[in-house]
Structure 1
Amino acid sequence: MVEGRRFEFDDVTYVVEPFELGPLVLPTGEIVGCDPLVSHTTPFVDTVEPGTYPLRAWVAVLHKDQVEWQRRIAALQLVIVDEPVASWTMAAHADQDVASLDEDSYFGYGVDAGTGTLADRVTIETLQSWDFDRIDETFIPAQIPLDPIEAVISAVVDENTGANVYVVGSGWGDGSYATYVGWTADGCIATFVTDFQVLPDA
């Protein structure tokens, strides 16, 4: 993602803007990408050192006839080190073989509640223990703001570790979304990015 990058498709102009959501606490460094209101706890194979890292949303601002039409979260990025990305791999679980995929296939997580997140395994495991009323009270507002950044909801879900979560709108809504791992030139993980398939192919 590049700030200010423009895409044109079907008479719609897409302009990409970054928004810093805040610090994400990773007690284990085991990253889960999922719809947190549905909760799947399987972490990706690639892990990082436990710690606190910035979480960033990339918003696509859509224009029609030179007038802003709507905004959608195009990607969610967990920044591990602020260094250039030299290569990308697909984030996968231990039982998934990326080499088995053809060029049009990917491993992604399913979204059924129109939301997505990147969070620590501890966070998602804790959410799975919450009953519906607590989920509803914490993450489901009576009215969802039109601006997707204003609609982001964050919460600390494990007081012992400080593990927290940011619940964001998943692009156009329900679907299946892949996460990618960006690597530095010296082979360190720089970032995890979930693509919500909002932007047209460049």
Structure 2
Amino acid sequence: MRTLLLLGWIGLAGCESRNGEYPISKEKLDTVRHNVYPVSVRPLIFETAFFEGTTLTQHSTRLRFCPIHIGDLQVTTGKVIADCPVTVKDGVPFLADFPVGAFPVQLAIATIKTDERVAFSRILFSPAPVARWEMALLRGQKPLPLYDTSYYGYGVDGGIGLFIDSAANAVMQADDKLDSAMTDSMFIYSMKVHTRDTWDYGVYRFKGQNVAVFSTGWGDGFYGSYIGYDAEGKICRLLTDFGVVDWQGEK
């Protein structure tokens, strides 16, 4: 059984990067600073990880969270794909219809002793509090209870995940010349600009479209995505969990 205990809030001046063997970006991280509000909808950490200064204890180890904004994703069709660069060519959008527009992509960075990991990524469709969470489904998938031992998700091979609109993915895949250049342009150079010791990210723009890419937790794995709905039943979040937090212990 996995356990989670919320300890409370601490004040932070912002996220701090650490020096490592690779060049570290000199840029100042765009720390997300929300007004903290009571969270009662479980999993609590899906929301509280994006409040600057949240801490929790997991298996006697303390985690501290710092949320950052990495850029805005263009959603033109309302059909969003969460996937890995290796398999996005055949990526399938979620069944849900998401709002259309440009929306912030945010990462919740967990500091664990001397390590830092991307615990969650999300698209913030609105600042409204989440009234309920549901597992994000692809066409043909049956709904599962949130705390089920089984879950849907996507596999990662290369330690990178992404969010992209289905129309942007079609543009990317339809252009052979663009497609052949994507690996270096999107998944190497654009992310090197935003490199930290154990994680990095990038927002790559092409032909009037864009894609948000980011490190995934401890690296390769299988990661589930979840949709947050507000009190009026409107979608306000799309979140991917990278397995850093054992949130099942909340229930």
TM-score, normalised to structure 1, is 0.85
Query: What residue number does 2:101 align with?
Result: 51
Q: Write the letter of the residue equivalent to 2:237.
A: T
- Larger % of strand: which? 1
SS of the residue corresponding to residue 48 of structure 1 reads coil
Cα offset for 1:38? 3.1
Name the structure 2 match of 1:20. Answer: 69
Q: Report the counterpart of residue 79 of structure 2 in structure 1.
A: 30
Distance 2:197 2:81 in 1: 27
Deviations 1:40-67 (A, max 9, x none): 421001112321111111110112xxxx
Maintained 8 Å contact 1:90/1:179: yes
Deviates more, 1:6-15 or 1:100-109: 100-109
| CA offset digits 1:163-184 (Å, max 9, x no partner) | 2112100111111111100001
Equivalenced residue count is: 192
Runs (5+) with no aligned partner, structure 1: 64-68
Q: Deviations over 1:35-94 (max 9, x none)?
A: 13431421001112321111111110112xxxxx11100001101111010001100101
Q: Are 1:124 and 2:169 matched, yes or no? A: yes
Structure with the largest fraction of helix = 2
Q: Aligned partner of 1:97: which letter?
A: K
RMSD: 2.3
Identical amino acids, percent of aligned pairs:
29
Q: Distance in 2 between matches of 1:166 and 1:196?
A: 16
Match of 2:12 in 1: none
Distance in 2 of aligned mates of 1:85 and 1:140: 34
- The TM-score with structure 2 as length reference comes to 0.70
Which residue does 2:128 correspond to in 1?
83
Deviations 1:125-169 (A, max 9, x none): 333344444412432249764152xx2122113x2xx32112100
Distance 1:100 1:200, change over 3 A: closer
Question: Match of 1:92?
Answer: 137
Q: Quote how far apart the aligned CAs of 1:17 are.
A: 1.1
Residue 180 of structure 1 pairs with residue 180 of structure 2? no
